[in-house]
Amino acid sequence: MNGSSAQIAEVGSWLQATVVSRKILAEGVLGLVLQSANENELPPFTAGSHVDLKLPNGVIRQYSLCNDPVERNRYELGIMLVADGGGGSRAAHNNVHAGDVVLVRAPRNLFRLKPAKQSLLLAGGIGITPILAMAAQLHREGGDFVMHYCARAQNRMAYFQRLQESPFANRVKFHFDDGGPLQHFNAASVLAEPHPEKHLYVCGPQGFMDAVIKTAQAQGWSSENIHFEYFSAPVTDNKVESGSFEVCLASSGKVVMVSPEQSIAQALTDAGVTVPLSCEQGICGTCLVRVLEGEPDHRDMYLSEAEKAANNQMTLCCSRSRSRRLVLDL
């Protein structure tokens, strides 16, 4: 911290906070702590929550809160540098410093802990951030859990020492790709005993998550007991036709054409319609809107399979249309 006092003040839908700590947690991982002024409490959060952070270059990105939710005076973030990303992580690593004032939105949670007899927490790489908060909350509340933390190497493992020194260290198992065979993560073994009252939480790179989820399903885990959160929209081979279609705004009757190269959000914005956006990857749900007519082509990771099947809401940033026309509650 460079001497500036910590501050928190609401600016519209944004909170103005001060970075009170900045440090490198592991190779390519930056840790930031945001704090309030005069010991004021920040908006509450629960394990699995994330905040929108507006970076100096104007890019908005979502980062999970990794501290214990009982800590109401601070938000702790872990940010991995993504060389081929959209510039958010580079801006955080290169342009955010202790003492800087940044803008965040109040926490939202799409990755909540469920009441369970036992919780199995699986983290790959930077996926440790929401998992760390879950472990802290479960330990504090007396919950039964086991954590497996996987990384390419120990020097790429953020919070390694913190976990080793935690009061729940005996519940944490570390796995390094460059370690011995006995240290490698064996998903089939870890997921071998599904139970109706046992819940699985997984977060990390897409390859890691896809492998874990596929293995869990093969081992007989119920989809209702498998919980996950992607940090970016997964790459898919979407075979649905992506031609043009029209969107009608129910409030005014205005019709906007969406070309194959545009998202619905882009087409509406170009037509002068205000669309709230954040992640623009179908993860956060900021641009969710009700569908009154037509059949959406859901391409998001926000809605559940049941919600997608209902076809009465959709995300505008990435989803498209299976029908020639959509009528939206706008």
pLDDT at 283: 74
Residue type, 329: D
Residue 27 neighbours by CB distance under 10 Å: 15
- Neighbouring CB atoms inside 10 A of 277's CB total 17
Per-residue pLDDT of the chain (330 residues; tens, 9 = 90+): 222 233 444 444 788 899 999 999 999 999 999 997 556 778 999 999 999 999 988 888 889 999 999 998 899 999 999 876 667 889 999 999 999 999 998 898 989 999 999 999 999 999 999 999 999 999 999 999 999 999 988 999 999 999 999 999 999 999 988 777 777 899 999 999 999 999 999 999 888 998 999 999 999 999 999 999 876 655 544 444 467 899 999 999 999 999 988 899 999 999 999 888 777 777 777 889 999 999 999 988 778 778 888 999 999 998 999 999 999 999
Answer yes or no: are the C-beta atoms of 127 and 63 closer than 8 Å: no
Taking the domain 8-109, which CATH number applies?
2.40.30.10
Q: List, as one string, the DSSP characters of 223-266.
A: GGGEEEE-SSPPP----S----EEEEETTT--EEEE-TT--HHH
pTM (2 decimals)? Answer: 0.76
Q: How many CB atoms lie within 10 A of CB 213?
A: 20
Tell me which fold the domain 118-229 belongs to.
Rossmann fold (3.40.50)
pLDDT of res. 234: 54
Taking CA 257 as the corner, what is the angle to CA 253 and CA 259, rounded to the nearest 5 degrees? 160
CA nearest 131: which of 83, 176, 183, 173? 173
Q: How far apart are the first and last CA of the chain?
A: 45
Q: 3-state DSSP call for residue 158?
A: coil
Question: Domain locations in the chain?
Answer: 8-109, 118-229, 245-328
pLDDT for res 2: 26
- In CATH terms, the fold of domain 245-328 is Ubiquitin-like (UB roll) (3.10.20)
Tokens of residue 285, six digits: 């749900």
pLDDT of residue 39: 63
